[in-house]
Structure 1
């Protein structure tokens, strides 16, 4: 691989991120990605075996940054635990107010590839959502609450549902309402487990 191979691969992935997230993975061909990256199609295929491989790499490149952003929002939030969970939704709502927001890239890609459930990108989207759910379960458990796994799953459902509602209504109030519902779930889940 040439010495600048990593930089070229990164440039292709950046182009794929902009185009796939902006227009969808089915609407964007490899020619458009190569052109946006300033490389030949041959160079693109040198770094990615197929368009499917590129779509998978696109989602993989979003995985850790997205999870890190959720952790950052939670860590920077103030107040009691439910307020810090509400802050996740408040930050999501703020993100959706920008013109560039097109929804959750993982959900959109999985929806576009719904007829190919074995597609590597669909599997990766599912893995990403499971990682988010596991992270939420972990922080809920650390807070000392019972039923951490079930609460985490319900909160992820609220997030994903609010993303769908936002795509239809273009009103961030849906995400804020989902945050209120997440707080209500945590409060209704009962008392925290006794220590020991």
Structure 2
């Protein structure tokens, strides 16, 4: 098996990524990927044992770049935590208005492979979502907000739910609504933190 750094392999993955994201994995043949990559079918199978391996490589190639993009949107946004998390959704809304936008490649691939729960691409998709959830949890926890695990899950549900609804209705404003819902959830969690801290201080003063 060729090394992952092989330029030919990279060209094949890039071609597969464009085709799979645009048309779906079942609609795109190995022959179509080979043609777009400018290689023979034999060369493609030298680098990938099967189409399943190619699909897994397609999602693997999206993993870190997508996570890095979400984190960059967060880092580049000024303001408090609710604003910075809401910004991720707002950037997604902007992306969803592009004519070539086709939703979340991880969710779409999972839907196409729903009857194959052990497929490597599904495991990669699940791991990607868990990484994003873990990053959200760590970010919320770093802000000193209790219940970071539950709040991160709520963010992920809004995140993937908005992907699904926008893809269905082709209306990016649903992501903007999700942004406001995310903002409200984080603000409520912050308010509970302040209330709890105030209560503790009051209790300490009374005890002294």
Tell me the residue number matched to 1:191. Answer: 193
The number of residue pairs the alignment matches comes to 193
Q: Within the alignment, does 1:7 sit opposite 2:16 as a pair?
A: no
| Deviations, residues 7-30 of structure 1 (Å, cap 9, x unaligned) | 100100000000000000111110
| Deviations, residues 63-112 of structure 1 (Å, cap 9, x unaligned) | 00000001100000011110001100110001101011000000000000
Q: Is the 8 A contact 2:137 2:152 kept in 1?
A: yes
Question: In structure 2, do the counterparts of structure 1 residues 151 and 79 end up closer, same or farther at CA, with 3 Å as the change threshold?
Answer: same
SS in 2 for 1:58: helix
Question: In structure 2, do the counterparts of structure 1 residues 2 and 23 end up closer, same or farther at CA, with 3 Å as the change threshold?
Answer: closer
Tell me the residue number matched to 1:103. Answer: 103
Query: How far 1:184 sits from its partner (Å)?
Result: 1.1
TM-score, normalised to structure 2, is 0.90
TM-score, normalised to structure 1, is 0.95
CA distance in 1 between partners of 2:76 and 2:184 (Å) = 21
CA distance in 2 between partners of 1:132 and 1:159 (Å) = 10
Query: How far 1:119 sits from its partner (Å)?
Result: 0.3
Tell me the residue number matched to 1:155. Answer: 155
- List aligned pairs for 1:78-117, cutoff 5 A: 78-117=78-117
SS in 1 for 2:193: coil
Query: How far 1:169 sits from its partner (Å)?
Result: 1.1
- List aligned pairs for 1:57-68, cutoff 5 A: 57-68=57-68
Consecutive unaligned residues of structure 2, counting only runs of 5 or more, are: 198-208
CA distance in 1 between partners of 2:104 and 2:168 (Å) = 13
Consecutive unaligned residues of structure 1, counting only runs of 5 or more, are: none
| Deviations, residues 113-143 of structure 1 (Å, cap 9, x unaligned) | 0000000001110000000000000100111
Query: How far 1:188 sits from its partner (Å)?
Result: 2.0
CA distance in 2 between partners of 1:98 and 1:167 (Å) = 12
Structure of larger gyration radius: 2
- List aligned pairs for 1:1-196, cutoff 5 A: 6-189=6-189, 190-191=192-193
Tell me the residue number matched to 2:202. Answer: none
Question: In structure 2, do the counterparts of structure 1 residues 2 and 178 end up closer, same or farther at CA, with 3 Å as the change threshold?
Answer: closer
Range 5-14 or range 83-92, more displaced: 5-14
Query: Structure 1 stretches (4+) deviating beyond 3 angstroms?
Result: none
| Deviations, residues 22-72 of structure 1 (Å, cap 9, x unaligned) | 000111110000000000000000001110000000000000000000110
RMSD: 1.5
